[in-house]
Amino acid sequence: MEKAALLKMTGISKTFPGVKALDNVDFSINEGEVVGLLGENGAGKSTLMKILSGIYTPDSGDIWLEGKKIVLRGTKHSQRAGISIIHQELNLLPHLTVAENIYIHSLPRKGFSLDKKRLFLDAERLLGELGFEINPKAIVDDLTVGTQQMVEIAKALSFQSKVIIMDEPTSAITEQETAKLFEIIRSLKEKGIAIIYISHRMEEIYEICDRVVVLRDGCNAGGGLSKELKPDQIVGMLVGRELTQIFPKRQGRVSQEVVLEIKNLGRKGVFENISFQLHKGEILGFSGLMGSGRTELMESIFGVEPISSGEIWIDGKQKKVRSTRDTISQGFALVPEDRRQHGMIGNFSVTHNITLATLKRFAGRFRKVSARREREAADRHISELRIKSPHGGTVITNLSGGNQQKVIIAKWLESKPRILILDEPTRGIDIGAKSEIYQIIQQLAAQGTSIIMISSELPEVIGMSDRILVMADGRITGEFTREEVTPEKIMLCATKGGEV
């Protein structure tokens, strides 16, 4: 039976200075439907969603909600109309309680003061209806990311939302939390709420979405019922070409030369008894669940956080690691997990980000940095890594996520590292850029760079690594070669450490 669309967008166009972000895009969603919105970074997904949440006004096109044409003026207006967005970076006030966060838009008052009693009662009732086991009096900062996400969902529903947009909701939560999230989505579906689900993970799309809509270069690139589409058909729509194998073939051979040896490394309460070797030209994958201590271990090896026990041996010699300066001078490099907070200098240009770690090498007389040499180096990386940027002087925040990541990688390639640590190198990056980054990693390894790659995506860690270590609860719980590894073996070791 054909239902009238709950929400319909027709002929949406939006131009930013120099970029046509959206060109005549159509989109619709029905009551109780989950629609996967797919597209590489820069394809126009977030622009479309920002129009829907009232942040941008379209240059042309109409939006219809429940058969009525509406014009969205600002985020509050959009929320009142019944459209909520849950951003990838959650928008909660960390030091307030769960209840306060849920009702921050309309806190109940008693005279001039906050009606705390009613606030907590309302929150408790709402959370109860949703079946969320969250204490409304808990401070948001103390909750896990997955629970915080549930608070965001409760907040969205406190607006009586009819449409909820979820922007990569699983990018920072554990497998269990993802399963829980999907349960919640299914129950919202039954209540007739429409969900626009943005994700790069194909398995999730198949598991949760009824239908997919694909955008490419600001235009509709196809779509259909997810059960009728094959993965390579979707990937074809995404990239505009059939992408048969995204993991490049391994070139070169791993040598037996040990460049880094970690012996019984520990940091109180975070990880313990970590020992492993890294060979020249090897890609060593680190798998495990969120919070298993992988990121913290790498931070300690890189000299960001102190260790409380153990030894670090570089080229067969024991080294004291006190700061990032020590390790960088030994040829280490680290591409951090959190690109925005830890990777890039937001108001620097692409060029200045690329030269940041090696700036001294560009300085001449009177410590003057040669702008010409900086530009040359940056231009070389921009063309080699195919960074899509108008020119090197463009501020890095104007680039798509994948291209920002390439800039961070370029920063470290400029330092010609011997040991490159990559922490979730392709998180939140579209498939096209992912495959390019995989090629870069393979090339580096073939040239003799030793690579440690942390990844939560099993296909990625299995497809890329020569050897895989699995961590759980701050300990190494498994080691596999490329030949013997299977997703099941990894998951078994990753969940060994007890409850998460």
Residues forming the site for other proteins (CB under 8 A): 302, 304, 323-325, 328, 334, 336, 341-348, 352, 356-357, 359-360, 363, 366-369, 411
Q: How far apart are CA 314 and CA 317, in angstroms?
A: 5
CA angle centred on 416, ends 415 and 417, rounded to 5°: 95
Least distance to other proteins, CB of residue 364, Å: 10
Least distance to other proteins, CB of residue 369, Å: 6
Q: How far apart are CA 87 and CA 91, in angstroms?
A: 7
Count CB neighbours of 18 within 10 A.
7
Nearer to other proteins, 346 or 487 (CB): 346
Q: How far apart are CA 480 and CA 482, in angstroms?
A: 7
Give the SS3 label for residue 496.
coil
* C-alpha radius of gyration, the chain, whole number: 24
Least distance to other proteins, CB of residue 329, Å: 8
Least distance to other proteins, CB of residue 383, Å: 23
Least distance to other proteins, CB of residue 15, Å: 17
Give the SS3 label for residue 379.
helix
Cβ–Cβ < 8 Å for 178, 170: yes
Nearer to other proteins, 404 or 495 (CB): 404
Cβ–Cβ < 8 Å for 29, 37: no
Nearer to other proteins, 280 or 339 (CB): 339
Least distance to other proteins, CB of residue 414, Å: 11
Q: Burial, 230: exposed, middle or buried (Cβ in 10 Å; 0-12, 13-18, 19+)?
A: exposed
First vs last C-alpha separation in the chain: 44
Nearer to other proteins, 184 or 385 (CB): 385
In the 3-class helix/strand/coil scheme, how is 86-105 assigned residue by residue? ECCCCCCCCCCEHHHHHCHH
Nearer to other proteins, 169 or 343 (CB): 343
Q: How far apart are CA 308 and CA 124, in angstroms?
A: 43
The two structure tokens encoding residue 68: 């009525």
Least distance to other proteins, CB of residue 144, Å: 22
459-484 CB burial, b ≥16 within 10 A, e <16: ebbbbbbbbbbbbbbbbbbbebebee
Nearer to other proteins, 170 or 353 (CB): 353
